[in-house]
Structure 1
Amino acid sequence: MTGSNETALQGVLLDALTPYLPPYILTLLSDKYILAFTISLIASMGTFLGGIIVCVLAKATGADPRSKATAKLMGVLEAFSAGVMMYITCFDLIPEAVESIGSREAMFWFFGGVAVFGVLEEVIMPSHDHDEEDGHDHEHEKTVKGSPKGKKGGKNNVNSKGEKTDSSTTTTTAEPALSAKERRDLLRSSLITFVALAMHNLPEGLGVYLAALSDLRLGTQLAVAILIHNIPEGMAVAVPLYAATGNTTSVLWWTLLNGLAEPLGVVAGGWLLHGYLSPQLLSRCLAGVGGIMACISIHELQPTAIRYSGKTIATSAFFGGMVVCFGALEAVNEWFGGHAH
C-alpha cells in the first residue's frame, strides 16, 4: 500500500471512530505507532472474549461444574478448541514459515517447539499417577453414595436439629462428578495451555504491530483474523479452569492476562528489540509456537475431550473446530479482498 493510500485509510478509520471517541484519543490514534499498537491490543481481546463466552454460557445454562453434563460439554469445547489450534498450526503458521525460511528450517523450529512443550509440561505441575490418593477419592465417593456408614441407621439418622433424615437421599445430591485428581489434572491442563498460548501470543502480537506499521490494511485484516481465532484459544484456557473451580472471576482474569501477552510482545519486541527484528525471526518464532500448539492439541486438549465426551463426539467436535476456523478466516479474507498471510 502506498503512503497516500495508507494515509487515506487511516483518515477513514479515524472518521468512523470520531462519534465514539473523545478528541484526545483521536489525536493519539493519528500517530501510526500508537494506532498499530491499538490494533494489536484489540486483536488480543479475542482470548478474553473466549473466557467471557464460557462464563456466559455457564451462567445462562446454570451449568454445575461438578455435574457430568457439564463435564461432557467441557469435552466438546476442548475438542473444538483443539481443532482450531491444529488448523492454525497446519494451514497458517507452518506454511507461512516454510514460505519465509524454507521447509528444513521451519520444521527444525517446529520440532524445537515440541521439545519446549515437553520441558514446560515437566516444569509446570508435573503429572503423576497418584494412584493411592485417587483411590482414596473413589473410596470416599463410594462412601458418599451409600457405604455401610452412610446407610447405617437409614431413616433413624439425626441431624444437628434433632430431626430425622434419610441419608441415602441427602448423599445422592452431593455426589461429585469429578474427583480431586480429575480437578487437579484440569487445573494442570489449563495452566500448561495458558503458558503455551502466552508464548504464542507474544510473537503474534508483534506480527500484527509490524504488519499495521508497514500496511494498515494488511494489519487490520490480520488483527481481525487473530481476534477470531483467539476466541477458542481463550476457551481452551477457560473451560478446564471453570470445570475445576467453578470460579468465573478466575476464568476472566486468566484469559484477560493471556491475551495481554500480545501487546506485551509489542512492547518487548517492537520497542526494546526493534534493531534485531526481521520477518525471518518472526517466522522462526511462529514455527516454534506451531510445535507447541500442536502438542497442546494432541497431548492435552483432545485426550481430555475424549475422556469426558467420548471418542466419537470429541472427534466430530475436533473437525468441527477446523471447519469453523477455515470458514471464519476465509470470510475475513473475502471481506478484505485478500489474504492475511
Structure 2
Amino acid sequence: MDSQVAVALALSLVGGVSTSIGALFVIVNKTPSLKMLGLLQGFAAGLMLSISFFDLAHNALNSLGFLKGNLWFFAGVIFFAVVASFIPEPTLTPTSDVKGRKKNGDEGDKDIMKKHRRQVLFSGIVTAVGISLHNFPEGMAVFLGSLKGLRVGLNLALAIALHNIPEGVAVALPVYFATQSKWQAFKLASLSGFAEPLGVIIVAYLFPSSLSPEILEGLLGSVGGVMAFLTLHEMLPLAFDYAGQKQSVKAVFLGMAFMSASLYFLSISLPEDLSL
C-alpha cells in the first residue's frame, strides 16, 4: 500500500503543478485592464459553475438520488452563505462618489483603485478556496486509478493536468491584478493545486476505514453548492461591474463550454468502473 500511495502522490503532483503552469500564463503577461479583468472573471465564473453543476452536483444526484443530492448541495450553499456573512467584504465606491473624487485629482483615483484591488483580491481568495475543494476529489480519483495500474493512473493524471491549467489562471489572475505581485499570484495558484496530493493522502488513509461512499458523495455535492454560491456571490458581480452584463454573460458561457469539454475528455480517460 505504501508504494501505491507513493506512486499516486507522484502522479497527483503532476496535476497539482499544472495549476502553477496556469499561473505562469498570467504572470508573464501585463496586468489586464479592468474591462479585460471582468471578461476573464466571467470566463472563470463559467469554469466554476460548470464544475459545480455538471460535475460535483451531477455526480451527487446520480449517486444519492434527487432528494438527497439536492439536500447535500443546498447544505453547502447555506453553509458558505453563513460563513460569507461573517467575512468583512470590501465594497466599491458608488458612481456618484467616484465622480466627486475624480475632481480631487490623482489622490481620489488612487483611492478608487485601492478599493477595486481589495474587491478583486477577495474574489481571488474565494476562488482559490473553491478550486482547492474541487481538487480533493481529483486527487482521490488519481489514487483509485493508480490502484488499477500505472498506465491508468498516468493517463488520468495527465488528463487532470490539462484540465487544471485554466483553474490556475482563474486563481492567479485576480490575485495578480490586486497585489501586483507575481509571486503572490503564483503561490496562491500553486497552493490550490497541491490540494490534489492532499486528496490522495485522505483517501489512502481515511476513506477505506471510516468514510462511507455515500457520505463522500454527499460532501462533494456540498462542495458543489459552496462553489456555486461563491461564484454567483463574488465572481459574477465583479465581472458585471468591470465588463458589463452582456459581455460578461458571453464570457460565462464560453467558460462553461470550455470546462464542460475538459470534464468530458477527463471522464473518457477514466476506467468504466471509476468515476470522478
TM-score tier by shorter-chain length is 0.7 to 0.9
2:186: which partner in 1? 252
Deviation readout 1:84-124 (Å, 9 max, x if unpaired): 22122222222222222222211111111112221332344
Bigger CA radius of gyration: 1
Deviations 1:173-231 (A, max 9, x none): x9559532222111211122222332332343223323322465554454344333333
- Residue 323 of structure 1 deviates from its aligned partner by 1.6
- For 2:159 and 2:194, how far apart are their aligned partners in 1? 17
Q: Does 1:35 align with 2:7?
A: yes
Aligned residue for 2:103, secondary structure, equals: helix
Does residue 87 of the first structure (1) align with residue 59 of the second (2)?
Answer: no
The alignment status of 1:109 with 2:72, answered yes or no, reads yes
Q: CA contact under 8 A between 1:81 and 1:318: conserved in structure 2?
A: yes
User: SS at the partner of 1:143?
Assistant: coil
Q: Provide the TM-score with structure 1 as the length reference.
A: 0.70
Q: TM-score, normalised by structure 2?
A: 0.84
Q: Which residue of 2 aligns with 1:210?
A: 144
Give the counterpart of 1:180 among 109, 114, 122: 114
Whole-Å separation in 2 of the counterparts to 1:138 and 1:269: 54
In the aligned structure 1, how far is the partner of 2:266 from the partner of 2:207?
A: 31
Displacement of 1:269: 4.1
Query: Using the alignment, how far apart are the partners of 1:212 and 1:278 within structure 2?
Result: 20
In structure 2, the gaps of 5 or more residues are none
Q: Which runs of 5+ in 1 are unaligned?
A: 1-28, 146-170
**Percent of residue pairs bearing the same amino acid type:** 36
Q: Which has the higher contact order (CA 8 A, sep 6+)?
A: 2
The structure-2 alpha-carbon separation of the partners of 1:56 and 1:195, relative to structure 1 and needing over 3 Å to count, comes to same
Cα distance, 1:219–1:112 mapped onto 2, change above 3 Å: farther
Which of 201, 211, 232 pairs up with 2:166?
232
Aligned residue for 2:124, secondary structure, equals helix
Question: How far apart, in 2, do the equivalents of 1:303 and 1:42 lie?
Answer: 33
CA RMSD in angstroms comes to 3.1
**Counterpart amino acid of 1:117?**
F
| Partner in structure 2 of residue 189 of structure 1 | 123
Matching of residues 299-310 of structure 1 within 5 Å = 299-310=233-244
The residue type equivalent to 1:97 in the other structure is A
Match of 2:24 among 11, 36, 52: 52
1:199–1:88 Cα change, 3 Å: closer
Aligned residue pairs total 273
Contact 1:79–1:314, Cα closer than 8 Å, also in 2: yes
Q: 2:59 aligns with which of 96, 99, 118?
A: 96
Distance 1:316 1:121, change over 3 A: same
